Amino acid sequence: MILFPNAKINLGLRVIRKRPDGYHDLETVFLPIYGLRDALEIIPQHQQDPANPVHMQSSGLAVPGDPNDNLCVKAWQLLKQDFPDLPGIDMHLHKAIPMGAGLGGGSADGAFALQLLNTSCRLQLSTDQLMQYALQLGSDCPFFIHNKPCLAYGRGEILQPLSLDLSDYQIVLINPGIHVATGWAFGQLTPQQPITPLQEIIALPVEQWRDQLINDFEAPVMQQYPTIARLLEDFYAAGAVFAAMTGTGSTVFGLFPKTQIVDLKNGDGCWFGVFGL
C-alpha cells in the first residue's frame, strides 16, 4: 500500500509559555499543502526477518541519520509494543519535502506510516487512537492524522477545525537551504500571551494579516540569517498579499492571487515551488 504524506505551513505561531514538562504551549494555524508530497509504501515482508523486522529504503532527497531513527520506523516500533503480532515490513520512502524546513515532512511521514500500518495490518484503530500514537512520535504528528486546516494549541496536539477559504490564492514556497536548530530558536524567545487571539486574526481578510499574523520565531531567525529577511521582502515586492516564515524556518512562503504570474528572483540553491490552495 502507498500513501502520499503532504507538507504543512504555519499561519502565525505564538509561543505562549514553557510547561513544567519542558515543552512549550503554542498557538498556531496548521494549513496543509497537499501539492507538496512525499511517497510512502509499506509491504509486509514475504519472509519474516526477526533480526531486521523493518527494511527501510529511501530515494529522492537524501535522508540523513540512522534509518532506525526515522519516524516511519518509530511508528512501527510504537505499534509493535501494543500489537506483538504486527508483521515485519518492507518500507520505501521517497522524499520530496525539504527536511528541517518548517514544512513538517518528517512528522507527516510518521503520521502516515501509522495510518498505513493501521489499514494494511487491520489494527482497527480509531482516529482518536491514531492521534494518541502520533503525539508519541512528535508534537506536529497529530495534525497529519486530521490533515485539514485547524487552529492548534498546547504542544500542537489540541486541534480545532477551521473554516478557511484560500481558494482565490496560490502559495509560493522558497527554502534557502539554511538549517535552523529548533532548540536554538526556542532559546531566543521570551514566551508571552498574545494580546489578540489568533482565532480573531485569522478571521480577518488576508489583506489585513500583515503585521498582525505573527510568527514569533521570525524576528530572531531573520536577525541571524538575513537571507530569510530578504526573501520576505522579495515576496512583498513581487505582489504577495501575505508573506511569512513557517515553523522555526527556514522556509518562507507568500500568498498571491491565483491569477497572478509570480516573478521572483530566488537565489542560487534555493528550493522553489508554487502550489494551489
Contacts for 24 with CB less than 8 Å, ≥ 6 apart: 15, 16, 17, 18, 155, 186, 191
Contacts for 177 with CB less than 8 Å, ≥ 6 apart: 250, 269, 270, 271
Q: Is 8 a catalytic residue?
A: yes
What is the rounded CA–CA span in Å between residue 4 and residue 11? 23
Closest to 144 (Cα-Cα) out of 132, 155, 131: 131
What are the start-end ranges of the E strands in 167-267?
169-175, 242-245, 252-257
Task: At 129, list the grid cell.
Answer: 487512537
Q: Is 140 a catalytic residue?
A: yes
* Marked catalytic residue, from 38, 109, 140, 234: 140
Amino acid letter, 82? D
Does residue 53 contact residue 84 with C-beta atoms inside 8 Å? no
> Count of CB atoms within 10 A of residue 8's CB?
27
Please identify every residue annotated as catalytic: 8, 140
